[in-house]
Amino acid sequence: MNLILIGFGNVGRALTYILWEKGDRLKGLKLNINVTGIFKSDGGFIDHNGLKLGEILEKGKQHQSWVPEASPLSYIAELPCDVVIEMTPTNVKNGEPGVSFIRKALEEGKDVVTSNKGPLVVSMKELLSLADKKGCFFFYEATVGAAIPIFTVAREFLKHDRILCIEGILNGTTNYILSRMSEDKVSFDDALREAQEMGYAEADPTYDVEGIDAACKLVILANGLMNMNKHLSDVEIEGISRVTPEMIELAEEEGYLVKHIAYLDEEKMEVAPRLVPKNSPLTVGGTFNVITINTELSGSLTFIGKGAGPRETASAILADVITIANKRGGIKSG
Ligand SMILES: NC(=O)c1ccc[n+]([C@@H]2O[C@H](COP(=O)([O-])OP(=O)(O)OC[C@H]3O[C@@H](n4cnc5c(N)ncnc54)[C@H](OP(=O)(O)O)[C@@H]3O)[C@@H](O)[C@H]2O)c1
């Protein structure tokens, strides 16, 4: 199976490393993976016969396969490729450059896997219907909750069921801040500074703290799991910057924790600080994410996991690739 990787940042490098490190395990699954292109913003590593991943991780642009200025748009059709993996930065305004890469890949009949929320928040229905028209798979497990296999579970195990509502904590940074404020009586500003120092929060934390990241994920859950056609503007969003230590203390006295909850049903989509009973499965701490789906037949199902991290995200991407290989008949059991 030939892959093109677009993006060689935290996630792209982690995926390259796993493909290199776990090559033997993948061969044990009868999955013979060959990467023919890896692209950055200013060029790409290219080899029609398959790149030597260990050498690229070690030498970077000094490697002989590096082609300055090479753009994925010119190579997607040309290189041997079954699946395009799109891992460029999230842009929730117009989805670029991810939308153009995914559109081009699908137009060329390639299956696509992405970890990038931007194209889904902006153009999910368009891209899914293009994939359908072209007979391609377009998977995006890594975009919500990293390695939490929420879309796979729904697609493979809940076909017969109906999801009525979804709630959860979809952003590790805000959960970390609220957990520190609650468990260790740290102030909001100090908890945020800690999150930045530990690499959980960006230098500009607005996207996380004001709930935009969680709202983007809620849009993807709505469209991906409940067959809706929602946009970011459909989500009522309130961040956590107005949560005070006094609110947290008062809540605790009554047996509650303050959590930044994303909620979705047929009528309503919102992200806001909410009181959650201390014994609820939604009270995960630290940078963990949690997603509960309430269904008509299966009842309530809850998934907990690390919602970010290059390795976890790359693992979800690889799981999508393996699913595609399976569906294309590329992995034989036994
Ligand atoms: N990090 C996580 O834990 C995590 C978790 C879940 C989802 N995600 C999502 O996964 C995606 C990748 O995340 P990341 O942390 O790996 O980001 P990153 O470190 O910023 O890497 C982005 C990569 O995309 C490349 N790129 C940017 N514009 C490009 C273009 N026009 N053509 C080709 N390549 C281009 C960059 O090239 P240069 O190397 O030249 O800069 C870089 O290699 C993002 O959408 C992110 O939101 C990340």
pLDDT at 295: 97
Shared domain for 121 and 184, answered yes or no, is no
Evaluate whether residue 171 is within a structural domain: yes
Shared domain for 216 and 126, answered yes or no, is no
Q: Is the CB of 205 under 6 A from ligand 1?
A: no
Shared domain for 168 and 140, answered yes or no, is no
Q: Domain range for residue 259?
A: 163-305
pLDDT grade for 109, boundaries at 50, 70 and 90? very high
Shared domain for 218 and 322, answered yes or no, is no
pLDDT at 333: 46
Shared domain for 16 and 89, answered yes or no, is yes
Structure tokens at 188: 């909001």
**Atom of ligand 1 minimally distant from the CA of 90:** 45
Summarised one tens digit per residue, pLDDT across range 3-26 is 999 999 999 999 999 999 998 888
List the CATH number of the domain containing 130: 3.40.50.720
Count of domains forming the chain: 2
pLDDT at 31: 86
Shared domain for 316 and 199, answered yes or no, is no
Residue 84 has pLDDT above 50, yes or no: yes
pLDDT grade for 202, boundaries at 50, 70 and 90? confident
Shared domain for 209 and 138, answered yes or no, is no
Shared domain for 190 and 223, answered yes or no, is yes
Summarised one tens digit per residue, pLDDT across range 19-68 is 999 988 888 888 889 999 999 999 999 999 999 999 999 999 999 999 99
Shared domain for 213 and 297, answered yes or no, is yes
Q: Is the CB of 145 under 6 A from ligand 1?
A: no
Shared domain for 243 and 321, answered yes or no, is no
Of all protein residues, the one whose alpha carbon is nearest to atom 28 of ligand 1 is 41
Q: Is the CB of 144 under 6 A from ligand 1?
A: no
Ligand 1, from 42, 57, 84, 88: best to mutate by most atoms within 8 Å of Cβ? 88
Shared domain for 15 and 39, answered yes or no, is yes
CA of 53 to the centre of ligand 1 (A): 18
Ligand 1, from 5, 16, 40, 74: best to mutate by most atoms within 8 Å of Cβ? 40
**Cα torsion through 180, 308, 159, 268, rounded to 10:** 50
Distances (CA, A) of 85 to 40, 102, 106: 13, 9, 12
Q: Is the CB of 313 under 6 A from ligand 1?
A: yes
Q: Is the CB of 171 under 6 A from ligand 1?
A: no
For the entire predicted model, the pTM comes to 0.96
Evaluate whether residue 157 is within a structural domain: no
